[in-house]
Amino acid sequence: MNTRTLGADLTVSAVGLGCMGFSHAYGAPTEKHEAIRAIRAAYDLGYTLFDTAETYGTAADPHENEKLVGEALRDVRNSVQIVTKFGIRFDETSTAVNKPLIPDSRPETIRASVEGSLRRLQTDHIDLYFQHRMDPKVEPEAVAQVMADLIREGKITHWGISEADETYLRRAHAVCPVTAVQNRYSMMARQHEVLFPALEELHIGFMAFSPMANGLLTGAYGKNDTFAPKLDYRSAMPQFTPEAADQNRALLELLRDLAEEKHATPAQISLGWMLCKKPYIVPIPGSRKAERMRENAGAAEVLLSPEEVAAIDKALDTTPMSAVFGGTAVKTR
């Protein structure tokens, strides 16, 4: 697979693998050995960027996903880039399937988190360590200083911020250079494009999570599809309601037409559109099946000219579409 550079010097595969779904938020967790085989299949397909977090797990094992990633990649560790995250916990008092997040980026919490992640990932360093959500009770400069210390100690080599805004990003970057932001981005969720000028000015990369609107833009789901209400976040997402199926018909037709024109699939078009838009965007679609991983990797071969990207943007501006899931609620601790 082609590579891209995030920030100053972090070279990664043009498409990364979001590993969360093996353990969390997308129905029943994948059986351990099957999940490990799937992650290795992604590596064999050319993926080198693997994204996890300390909170991607189950009630029985809140840290399951990091353990899977560490086990799957331990013998190819020097050939991959492992991304994990710190700074949130779930509100376990909530009965919602998508439990609210409680941010905690106190220095002592970060210190405990990094040691736990290193142990579970079976590694001596983390390639890209993300603050999972901004903590309103901790100044960005304080977080950045801990990151600078961890880089100096060799425990991480790069850091980033997920769901960052420009003010927070600039303040943190002034203390310790940020390699990437990781924000929600897809054809249905383009609000973070306002960050692009700042990212270009500061030479910061953009990792796009939920790049296919949680799977909707693959075109694989219809009005009658349902999801497990206690285990699958999609059961509460507005883009998967029966009403949304009608509202998104024109959008999916647009994707299918583009896919036919480019001899690609709708999933590849939705990823290729962002890859061709900016050289510093790296999508991290989640998949548990090797054939879908192969399909997503093929998006790196989709070629769209600047004029074609602009035309797609213009079409998206006027194409009716439903509301789309905008993120988990955040509470203060």
> Are the C-beta atoms of residues 39 and 82 closer than 8 Å to each other?
no
| Active site residue ranges | 56
Secondary structure in 3-state letters for the chain: CCEEEECCCEEEECCCEECHHHCCCECCCCCHHHHHHHHHHHHHCCCCEEECCCCCCCCCCCCHHHHHHHHHHHHHHHHCEEEEEECEEECCCCCCCCCCEEECCCHHHHHHHHHHHHHHCCCCCECEEEECCCCCCCCHHHHHHHHHHHHHHCCECCEEEECCCHHHHHHHHHHCCCCEEEEECECCECHHHHHHHHHHHHCCEEEEECCCCCCHHHCCCCCCCCCCCCCEHHHHCHHHCHHHHHHCHHHHHHHHHHHHHHCCCHHHHHHHHHHHHCCCEEECCECCCHHHHHHHHHHHHCCCCHHHHHHHHHHHHHCCCCCCCCCCCECCC
Report the distance separating Cα 153 and Cα 229, nearest Å.
44
